[in-house]
């Protein structure tokens, strides 16, 4: 046995392919992807638009099932989680932050976080922090009553982060989280993500086409036409 530092594998893709039917035409979104994500690591998924980044994040979050191959979460096939895939992923501690913040438009910032906390509690997965404390953690204590339309892009992403923390994620999937933001705001949102990681110790998989953003991650994987073509480790 080696005396190497022990790592826990959270998620793994083995020979994964995803095909979509677009009318009569089959679109290969991903092909033969092998990928392992260890607890606590930071991984950037790089690649141009259409290369398969979002599809890979959806696979890791159990939102899409592979057309071939398997996606495992802590050694269990995500396909077995099946019908309640979203709920199960939430129960497993997999959280999402999308490119636009994707907040529920009729709920205030605080209610968005509270709703996520309520779902997390149902899945027996709560941080122990009140929604207002989560908002304060992302620097938005004064914005609890604001509706999503009353928030700036950066604030919306902060609420989305607070919301994701409500489910105490072990894996945070971020899909171009700063894609709609100016570079100063983007930098601050990224700083916040890294600061939250320090505190909550989740693994981070972040899709981006921005090399500067990718460079913040310990590891990078490059996608092109649905295939992993490597990248600096």
Residues lying near ligand ADP in the complex (CB under 6 A) = 20, 22, 27, 29, 47, 49-55
The partner in contact with residue 29, picked from Mg ion, ligand ADP, none with C-beta cut-offs of 5 to 8 angstroms by kind, is ligand ADP
Residue number with CB closer to ligand ADP (155 or 175): 175
Instruction: Map residues 33-72 to x or -, x wherever contact with Mg ion holds by CB under 5 A.
Output: --------------------xx------------------
Shortest spacing between CB 203 and Mg ion, in angstroms: 20
Task: Evaluate whether 177 touches 206 at the Cβ level (below 8 Å).
Answer: yes
Q: Which is nearer to ligand ADP, 35 or 119 (CB)?
A: 35
Min separation Cβ 64 and Mg ion, Å: 12
Smaller CB separation from Mg ion, 111 or 222: 222
Closer of 57 and 78 to Mg ion (Cβ): 57
- The entry of ligand ADP, Mg ion, none near residue 50 (CB within 5 to 8 angstroms by kind) is ligand ADP
Shortest distance (Å) from residue 204 CB to ligand ADP = 17
- The three state secondary structure string of the chain is CCCCCCCCEEEEEEEEEEEEEECCEEEEEEEEEEEEEECCCEEEEECCCCCCHHHHHHHHCCCCCCCEEEEEECCEEHHHHHHHHHHHHHHHCEEEECCCCCCCCCCCHHHHHHHHHHHHHHCCCCCCCCHHHHHHHCCCHHHCCCCHHHCCHHHHHHHHHHHHHCCCCCEEEEECCCCCCCHHHHHHHHHHHHHHHHHHCCEEEEEECCHHHHCCCCEEEEEECCEEEECCC
Distance from C-alpha of 177 to C-alpha of 102, rounded to nearest angstrom: 11
> Which one, 47 or 154, has the nearer CB to ligand ADP?
47
Residue 55 binding result from Mg ion, ligand ADP, none, given CB thresholds of 5 to 8 Å by partner type: ligand ADP
Count residues near Mg ion (CB under 5 A).
2
Least separation, in Å, of the C-beta of 31 and ligand ADP?
11
Instruction: Kindly tell me which of 91 and 224 has the beta carbon lying closer to ligand ADP.
Output: 224
**Please, what is the end-to-end C-alpha distance for the chain in angstroms?**
24
Residues forming the site for Mg ion (CB under 5 A): 53-54
């Amino acid at each position: 046995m080696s005396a190497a530092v022990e790592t826990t594998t959270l998620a793994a893709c083995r020979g994964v392919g995803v095909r979509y039917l677009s009318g009569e035409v089959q679109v290969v979104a991903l092909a033969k992807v092998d990928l392992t994500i260890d607890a606590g690591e930071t991984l950037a998924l790089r690649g141009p638009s259409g290369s398969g980044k979002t599809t890979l994040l959806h696979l890791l979050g159990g939102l899409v099932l592979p057309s071939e191959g398997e996606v495992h979460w802590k050694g269990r096939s995500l396909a077995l989680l099946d019908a309640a895939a979203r709920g199960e992923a939430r129960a497993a501690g997999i959280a999402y932050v999308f490119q636009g913040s994707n907040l529920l438009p009729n709920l205030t910032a605080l209610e968005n976080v509270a709703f996520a906390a309520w779902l997390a509690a149902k899945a027996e997965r709560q941080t122990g922090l009140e929604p207002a404390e989560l908002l304060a953690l992302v620097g938005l204590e004064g914005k609890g009553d604001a509706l999503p339309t009353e928030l700036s892009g950066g604030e919306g992403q902060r609420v989305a982060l607070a919301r994701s923390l409500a489910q105490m994620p072990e894996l945070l999937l971020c899909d171009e989280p700063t894609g709609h933001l100016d570079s100063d705001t983007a930098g601050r949102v990224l700083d916040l993500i890294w600061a939250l990681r320090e505190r909550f110790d989740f693994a981070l998989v972040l899709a981006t086409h921005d090399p500067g953003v990718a460079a913040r991650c310990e590891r990078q994987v490059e996608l092109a036409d649905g295939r992993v073509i490597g990248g600096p480790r």
